[in-house]
Structure 1
Amino acid sequence: MQISLARQVALVTGASSGIGHAAAKALAAAGAAVVINYHRQAEPAEALAQQIIADGGQALAIGADISKEDQVERLFAETLEAFGALDILVANSGLQKDAAAVDMTLEDWNTVIGVNLTGQFLCARAALRIFNRQGVREGVSRAAGKIIHMSSVHQRIPWAGHVNYAASKGGVDQLMQTLAQEVSQQRIRINGIAPGAIRTAINKEAT
């Protein structure tokens, strides 16, 4: 099935590698202008943006730590400044800091929850505010906006030694479902994807 996202604007968080990188590439191939968010890995994000532009698309790499409210607000403001609208958010950023619960530091707990769960909330909230202001863009999309929350099978499957990660993904599942219930009448679509292990950098030791 050929899907056209022409004239739509997509923002993908954590898009310098892995699933986010592939999602940004696919959205651009379908015709969307793509904002490629990264935190520390600027080079691959900027290289992807240049590749998309060289292929005739529109793209911009923007650095931001999505666990920080002020940086999220800047990320979305720069997206609007560059492309004038937002139609799709792929809330993908995630990380692991693994340890048995008895050994896990509060810093590692807070870091994972901050990126994986709080970051998804902050990005979703920013996107929803934009969707509500701009409404349905006739001739562009039948929805006022779309959010895809990237989760994990561990939103349902316990994972010893990864209590912070599993807790964050359980939270993402309920975040997604609750937001969907809250905004469905506003023609905003909220969905989640919960993949198993994918051959990406986060799973390097397991491959």
Structure 2
Amino acid sequence: MTDLTNKVAIVTGGSRGIGAAIALELAKNGAKVVINYNRSAGSAEQVIESIKKIGGEAYAVQADVSNSEESENLIKETINHFGKLDILINNAGITRDSTFKKLSEEDWRTVIDVNLNSVYNTSSIALPYLLESDAGRIINISSIIGQAGGFGQTNYAAAKAGIIGYTKSLALELAKSNVTVNSICPGFIDTEMVQEIPENIRENIVAKIPARRFGQPEEIARGVVFLCKDGGYITGQQLNINGGLYM
């Protein structure tokens, strides 16, 4: 697939940050995009307006993808609106950081549900439609934290590491089909999540990054488009976009 024209893509958590950048970049390359959001309806509409300004086509669907029934509705809404599905970007994610001694069961389960179980929920419903595509793509947004761990992030690290194992296993199962499955592992990207980190800690993080800066959401988005357009022989892999912080 070297052209995304008329391909249909879902981006979960597509209303802000990395998800919004992915949605816009896919649209720039010709894809019709479904912007999934849970609570940020206004932000989702802003992304749609940005896509329309460049001549693209987008549609917003509210769904809590940690819920299997709402995930099913997301896929059904996509098929009803666009008639098919070619690309699934599992990007939805949250943090509930705490040292393990203070980590509540609720914060453990919530992060696992939103970051990891959502990937199963969407993929299981979407797969029959992706198999009908001439070049189906599943791209799961993991994290450098899933590879290297993070202080106070046992729940988040477990979920993001789970995504990597899930990606490899599903890729094996689908290798003979027309569907590739890959993950992208961003480092520290300049989004709201990173901006909430205290300034002194942000400075310490940047000092450890060989590239000496935070990444931009658009850099993750371009990685997604590369896998969608030119990744026909790439499956089960982790694309690390982290400025050299983890190799």
Q: Check whether TM > 0.5.
A: yes
Q: Secondary structure at the match of 1:61?
A: strand
Q: CA deviation at 1:112?
A: 0.2
Question: Do structure 1's residue 160 and structure 2's residue 163 form an aligned pair?
Answer: no
2:3 and 2:29 in contact (8 A); partners too: yes
Unaligned residue ranges in structure 2 (runs of 5+): 203-247
Matches of 1:174 and 1:90 in 2, distance apart?
Answer: 17
1:120 corresponds in structure 2 to 119
TM-score (norm 2): 0.77
1:1-207 matches, within 5 Å, as 4-132=3-131, 134-136=132-134, 143=135, 145-206=136-197, 207=202
Considering only aligned residues, what root-mean-square deviation do their CA atoms show, in Å?
A: 1.1
Q: CA deviation at 1:182?
A: 0.8
2:85 and 2:133 in contact (8 A); partners too: no
What's the CA shift string for 1:32-65, capped at 9, x where partnerless? 0000011111101112112322432110011100
Matches of 1:178 and 1:154 in 2, distance apart?
Answer: 20
Q: Secondary structure at the match of 1:186?
A: coil
Instruction: Give the length in aligned residue pairs.
Output: 197
The percentage of aligned residue pairs carrying the same residue is 41
What's the CA shift string for 1:76-116, capped at 9, x where partnerless? 00000110000001100011001111111111000000010
Matches of 2:14 and 2:133 in 1, distance apart?
Answer: 26
Matches of 2:178 and 2:53 in 1, distance apart?
Answer: 34
Matches of 2:123 and 2:40 in 1, distance apart?
Answer: 22
Matches of 2:47 and 2:196 in 1, distance apart?
Answer: 25
Matches of 1:97 and 1:153 in 2, distance apart?
Answer: 17
2:24 and 2:50 in contact (8 A); partners too: no
